[in-house]
Amino acid sequence: MQLSPGSFLSRYDWIIVGAGYTGAVLAERIASQLDRKVLIVDRRDHIAGNAHDRPGAHGILVHKYGPHIFHTNSDKVWTYLSQFTGWRPYEHRVLGSIDGRLVPIPFNLDSLEALFAPAEAASLAGLLVDTYGLEKNVPILKMRESGGRLKDLADFIYAKVFENYTLKQWSLRPEELDASVSARVPVRISRDGRYFQDVHQAMPDAGYTKMFERILDHPNIAIATGTDYKSVAGQADRIVFTGPIDEFFDYQFGPLPYRSLRFEVFEKDVAEAQPVGTVNYPNDHAYTRITEFKHLTGQQAPGTVLVEEYPQAHAPGANEPYYPIPTPGTAELLKPYQAAARSLEGKVWFAGRLGDYAYYNMDQACARALALFEKQIAHAR
């Protein structure tokens, strides 16, 4: 139930701050399983968080905050979300613009053949298979620890695929970030051209926003978008906060660093502008990638809609904090906020990419919410 100004109840059992994955799933669980009244608030004018989508030109569903491709190995998450949406099977494919050619990303044996002479490519492929084994995924930072020809190849891939892309995305070099970041896009000792290898890969058949509408469609849930949580914080004794943890504490221990994004959506009068959903530009242009939405949605239209992504520094109040920056230094900056959060246990719970200050995928945010409900909130007194 979307609330209009002045239609709030005087009291709720729970206030959930943030209507993205973590907040929406927790609201649904609390409402349906505990039969408690929940007010979910979001300062933006819509639900679904960064996964929000809406029809754009030619009726094509546009992801307002950049492409969101659902994938998971969790049967539990898949089963839970399948209560609220049908699925369109979709395996995301990405090409990278490298030396004037479009090659598969993650870098694989086909990428190798596209960029090296046939004899050299075959020799290097044999070396990779002999060293790591066929069908293996190897983090680039691990591969760079090798010697000889393998080290030369690793340095080539690092320079062409990772280094400049990471500098644009994070304003840091790959080795300055937690190793898990570059490991998200490994070197594949295979010809698997899919960007993800999860068991479940699909898109909500009517879009993410429709899925979130169904998640939140419960008589115990009231929705207030365009609302600052501080204006309603006194209307419940228990709060789940999925916004930036440092913001909740008024930056008491200093602001945590995040990266933000700027999006440029544009149209083309062609049926299809790219051979795949996303093309990465590691070494050219100020943007990191261009995504064509029709590949994701499966829609047909005479024209097409695309988006360029421009990473930028986060400035509180000026742009959105999209990515926590995972480094040893930020882990230290987070500790006093985690201690402050523990002091509020039983009254305020923090969760989600911003509340936990963790680089979650969509399915991980959903899994975090389900686990938090089952292990803590369902037993709260």
* pLDDT 10s digits, 252-295: 999 999 999 999 999 999 999 999 999 999 999 999 999 999 99
Same-domain status, 123 and 18: no
Same-domain status, 250 and 371: yes
Kindly report, residue by residue over 130-173, the tens digit of the pLDDT: 999 999 999 999 999 999 999 999 999 999 999 999 999 999 99
| Average pLDDT estimate for 360-377 | 98
Domain finish residue from 172, 188, 204 = 188
Domain finish residue from 169, 188, 207 = 188
Q: Domain range spanning residue 177?
A: 94-188
Residues 6+ away with beta carbon under 8 Å from 313: 171, 259, 260
Residue 288: inside a domain: no
Same-domain status, 107 and 177: yes
Residue 309: inside a domain: no
Same-domain status, 36 and 114: no
Residue 370: inside a domain: yes
Between 2-16, 32-46, 334-348, the lowest mean confidence (pLDDT) is in: 2-16
| Average pLDDT estimate for 342-364 | 97
Average pLDDT over the chain reads 96
Residue 280: inside a domain: no
H helices of 64-207, where? 75-81, 109-115, 118-132, 140-143, 148-157, 164-170, 179-183
Structure tokens at 49: 């968080």
Same-domain status, 243 and 112: no
Same-domain status, 244 and 333: yes
Residue 371: inside a domain: yes
Residue 121: inside a domain: yes
> What's the confidence (pLDDT) of residue 185?
94
Tell whether the model's pLDDT for residue 316 goes beyond 90: no
Q: Which residue has the tokens 């544009």?
A: 266
Tell whether the model's pLDDT for residue 6 goes beyond 90: no
Q: How many domains in the chain?
A: 2
Same-domain status, 175 and 129: yes
Same-domain status, 182 and 235: no
Residue 135: inside a domain: yes
Distance CA 102, CA 96 (A): 5
Question: Radius of gyration over alpha carbons of the chain, in Å?
Answer: 22
Confidence label for 181 from pLDDT (cuts 50, 70 and 90): very high
Same-domain status, 37 and 111: no
Same-domain status, 242 and 357: yes
Distance CA 158, CA 219 (A): 52
CATH code assigned at 239: 3.40.50.720
Residues 6+ away with beta carbon under 8 Å from 20: 48, 49, 50, 51, 242, 352, 365
Confidence label for 3 from pLDDT (cuts 50, 70 and 90): low
Residue 26: inside a domain: yes
Tally Cβ neighbours within 10 Å of residue 179. 13
Among 364, 19, 9, 10, smallest CA distance to 223 is for 19
Same-domain status, 146 and 230: no
Residues 6+ away with beta carbon under 8 Å from 249: 337, 340
Same-domain status, 171 and 231: no
| Average pLDDT estimate for 25-40 | 97
> How far does Cα 100 stand from its chain's mean position?
29
